[in-house]
Amino acid sequence: MVNGYRVAEVKRRLAAPDARRFTLLGLALECGFNSKTTFNRIFKQFTGQAPSEWGNK
């Protein structure tokens, strides 16, 4: 449940106009994830896409 909120926050921040100022890992850590591996796994579990693929439609 908490990870769902974290993923939603990362997605919200990626949609913000100033998202280019941060790296994906930086956003993940700010949103409560403890590692890149965990972030990638949980993000893909909730969205069906890797974080790097999510905004590049």
Q: How many structural domains comprise the chain? A: 1
- Residue 19: what pLDDT? 79
In a domain, 57, yes or no: no
Q: Decide if 47 contacts 7 (C-beta within 8 A).
A: yes
* Structure tokens that stand for 34 in this block: 């403890």
Flag whether 42 is in a domain. yes
Domain assignment of residue 56, yes or no = no
Q: How far apart are the first and last CA of the chain?
A: 27
How confident is the model at residue 22, as a pLDDT? 86
Per-residue pLDDT tens digits for 1-56: 899 999 999 999 988 888 788 899 999 999 999 999 999 999 999 999 999 888 66
Residues 6+ apart with CB under 8 A from 32: 2, 6, 9
pTM of structure: 0.85
Return the pLDDT at 18. 84
Residue 46's domain is classified under what CATH number?
A: 1.10.10
